[in-house]
Amino acid sequence: MCILIGFIAGMIVIHEVDAKNEKIKTDALKEEIREAKKPVNVYFPKRNIKYGEIPRNSYNPDNFVIEDGFMAYYNENGEKISHVGVDLSYHNNKVDFKKLADSPVEFVMLRCGYRGYTEGGLIEDEKFKEYAKAANENNLKLGVYFFTQAITEQEAIAEADYVIKLIENYDISYPVAFDIEYVEDEEARTNTAELSREDLSKICIAFCERIKEAGYYPMIYASENWLRRKLDVSMLKEYDFWAPQYLEKNDFLYDFTIWQYTDSGNAPGVEGSCDLNVSMVDYAKFVPSLREAIKTNGEIGEYSDNTPNITIQ
């Protein structure tokens, strides 16, 4: 009986020691996770968005002016809040990025790839790697866009994954845009598929959410006509719009953050004409930090300085 009692007592002691050791290991693991998950300060600029059923254009068209050959925007306090950009692809087959960087141009949106009109293959832009490397080397802020022909949400996710793989080795400080627009070829996949406004909006959302999961900042490039006729804009309130509109005065119906104001502009270092853009947001202030937070499993904090800011949940 004494032997049995001693055995049981010994087992209890061993169990208590094991439990204590397990708690020490668990606490150490929790501390390791806590230390690894460091807060990352992310600054989100506050914008005056006019909400209704859809976010609407709230910019004063008279405050857009041409300065040094490029579009600029001044707020009601007379402060310049805009940033000059160009978008390029293999169609712009000769670019001197040093000259471009020495000009007023601050950011470049590069076409990284596209889906074929008929066969539906995913194709890298011929100039993407060369131009992305050159943009990074010359300290130009860099964003990308992908020309879609997705006809299902699954295809849109595949396009996003393709883009994420293409851009993983470059410093991306501007948005990753989903370029959805009319195609003249009657045999194009998006012209032959019977897709509703809801279907197309869900395709946009699928791409944008996958891009967001990877720590990049998604955006939708679409004309006002496409937005009105093809998409349900009320489903897309969470995303910024890149607006192509080639008019002297901007009367774009919807809220936007980048305006592609001409497709026949000129920029130093770019041979021939190119698309010119004006961004109402300095994405480079927060996009790299957002990416870093996702990569390091960090908690997105709120950057605080004298500039008004908001935290996006």
Q: Where are the domains of the chain?
A: 1-36, 43-302
Q: Tokens in use for 14?
A: 């061993």
249: left (phi over 0), alpha (psi -120 to 50) or beta: beta
Q: Tokens in use for 238?
A: 């969470």
H or E segment to which residue 4 belongs: helix 2-36
Q: Give the whole-angstrom CA distance, residue 299 versus residue 178.
A: 27
pLDDT tens for the chain, residues 1 to 313: 545 455 444 544 445 555 566 556 556 655 554 555 566 667 667 777 777 778 899 999 999 999 999 999 999 999 999 999 999 999 999 999 999 999 999 999 999 999 988 788 999 999 999 999 999 999 999 999 999 999 999 999 999 999 999 999 999 999 999 999 988 888 788 888 889 999 999 999 999 999 999 999 999 999 999 999 999 999 999 999 999 999 989 999 999 999 999 999 999 999 999 999 999 999 999 999 888 888 877 766 654 443 333 333 3
User: Cα Rg for the chain, rounded, in angstroms?
Assistant: 25
Angle at 179 between CA 165 and CA 184, to 5 degrees: 125
- Which one-letter amino acid corresponds to residue 155? E
DSSP H helical segments within 138-223, as ranges?
153-167, 189-192, 197-213
269: left (phi over 0), alpha (psi -120 to 50) or beta: left
C-alpha dist (Å) from residue 229 to 54, 197, 201, 217, 224 = 14, 8, 11, 25, 9
Angle of helix 197-213 relative to helix 153-167, nearest 10 degrees, comes to 30
Q: Give the whole-angstrom CA distance, residue 174 versus residue 219.
A: 10
Q: Give the whole-angstrom CA distance, residue 86 versus residue 88.
A: 7
Contact 100, 270 (CB under 8 A): yes
297: left (phi over 0), alpha (psi -120 to 50) or beta: left
> pLDDT tens digits for 104-150?
999 999 999 999 887 889 999 999 999 999 999 999 999 999 999 99
> Global pTM?
0.83
Contact 242, 220 (CB under 8 A): yes
Contact 239, 220 (CB under 8 A): yes
H or E segment to which residue 113 belongs: strand 107-115
Top-level class of domain 43-302: alpha beta
Q: Give the whole-angstrom CA distance, residue 221 versus residue 104.
A: 23
Q: Give the whole-angstrom CA distance, residue 282 versus residue 44.
A: 10
Contact 68, 103 (CB under 8 A): no
Q: Give the whole-angstrom CA distance, residue 200 versus residue 193.
A: 11
First to last CA, the chain: 65
Q: Give the whole-angstrom CA distance, residue 148 versus residue 190.
A: 9
